[in-house]
Structure 1
Amino acid sequence: MQLEGATIYLLDANVLITAKNSYYAFDRVPEFWEWLLHWAERGAIKMPVEIVEEIVGGSDDLAQWLGDKDNRKALCLEEDVNVARVQEVLANAYAADLTDAEIIKIGRDPFLIAHALFAPDVRTVVTTEVSKPTTQRANRRIPDVCDQMRVRWCDSFTLVRDLNFSTKWRDRL
């Protein structure tokens, strides 16, 4: 259902975690979660399976929500990651000689960026991380890695503005 050439926003786990814990709690702003699923079902918002697994491995209400079969199906980007792209991200944007401990610290961020590299003209990474260009190796932030790899990125507030979220979003359909 995704329109050809339209932006696909690939969410980092921290986008949902921060939303749930801060400004869009399930019991306070359920409209946000409905809006998120609406756009996910249309292909505009997705999460790579590697990122989904970070959340569903937890034991809180977000893990339960994303673990719901329908919610997971709507949000999950159903494609295999290109391992060569993940290795490219690691080697070129973090360091070619990362230790095992550094790779563990980096986590699944390179998978998110590798999925964006699949179609950099239409995919945008969404993260709550803030750029800090002076960091090196495993401490690099997603915005800086995206910049280096020429991948578009934005914060969650840009996503909300771009897709026009409000608590009355259904009235504007």
Structure 2
Amino acid sequence: MIYLLDTNIFIESKNRYYGFDIAPGFWEWLNSAMTNGDIYSIKNVYDELMKGKDEDLLTWIKFRKGFFLDIDENTLKYAKDLSIWAENQNYKQHAINTFRQSADLFLVAHAKAHGFVVVTLEKPEPNRKSRIKIPETCQHLKVEYCNTFDMMRSLKAKLILCDL
């Protein structure tokens, strides 16, 4: 399986469980998985991350720009499908407009176009109409999704403390 990472994976990992100062092994593993072709993200996620103010995360991301894939014609076809789907799901217009401009739309479309698994920390909330979430879009396109921990287990990641 090849995994496609959502913006929140980078931000939440850095700010919660895997801060650069306490878990450098996570970032080394992530870099290794990227180099091995096990994980990617898309340029739209890169652009969202670059709008942030976290200099440490921005520095880490800037040196890995090649890991963020371009959007292709096949992806655009599924993005159009998702956009039409969103319009017909009784979401609030603001939610639809925000979704159409987000990386989420293209992330899920790219995963569908290329057979990737989306990695996100979002959880489904099908009755919430004020925001379109990745799990609902994945379900519509029949795209598999998981969280960081499931991805790491699937790829047999081991974060081992070597120095004390």
TM-score, normalised by the number of residues in structure 1: 0.81
RMSD of Structure 2 on Structure 1 (CA): 2.3
- Is the aligned partner of 1:131 residue 2:131? no
Residue-pair matches, total: 157
- Is the aligned partner of 1:72 residue 2:65? yes
Q: 1:17 to 1:126 in 2, by over 3 A?
A: same
Query: What is the match of residue 51 of structure 2?
Result: 57
Runs of 4+ in 1 over 3 A off after TM superposition: 96-104
Q: Which of the residues 106, 125, 136 maps onto 1:144?
A: 136
CA drift of 1:78 comes to 4.2
Aligned partners of 1:66 and 1:104: how far apart in 2? 27
Query: What is the match of residue 119 of structure 1?
Result: 114
Aligned partners of 1:132 and 1:99: how far apart in 2? 14
- Is the aligned partner of 1:41 residue 2:35? yes
CA drift of 1:108 comes to 1.7
Q: Which of the residues 11, 19, 23 maps onto 1:29?
A: 23
Aligned partners of 1:79 and 1:108: how far apart in 2? 11
CA drift of 1:55 comes to 0.5
Whichever residue aligns with residue 148 of structure 2, its letter is S
CA drift of 1:64 comes to 1.8
Query: What is the match of residue 9 of structure 2?
Result: 15
- Is the aligned partner of 1:158 residue 2:153? no
SS of the residue corresponding to residue 156 of structure 2 reads coil
Q: 1:35 to 1:125 in 2, by over 3 A?
A: same
Deviations 1:98-134 (A, max 9, x none): 88743442222110011011123xx100000011121
Deviations 1:7-66 (A, max 9, x none): 110000001111000000001110100100101111110001111111122221111210
Contact 2:87 2:96 (C-alpha < 8 Å) held by counterparts: no
Query: What is the match of residue 3 of structure 1?
Result: none
Aligned partners of 2:4 and 2:20: how far apart in 1? 21
Aligned partners of 1:48 and 1:79: how far apart in 2? 7
Query: What is the match of residue 109 of structure 1?
Result: 104
Structure 1 gap segments, 5+ residues each: 1-6
Query: What is the match of residue 89 of structure 1?
Result: 82
What is the percent sequence identity of the aligned residues? 31
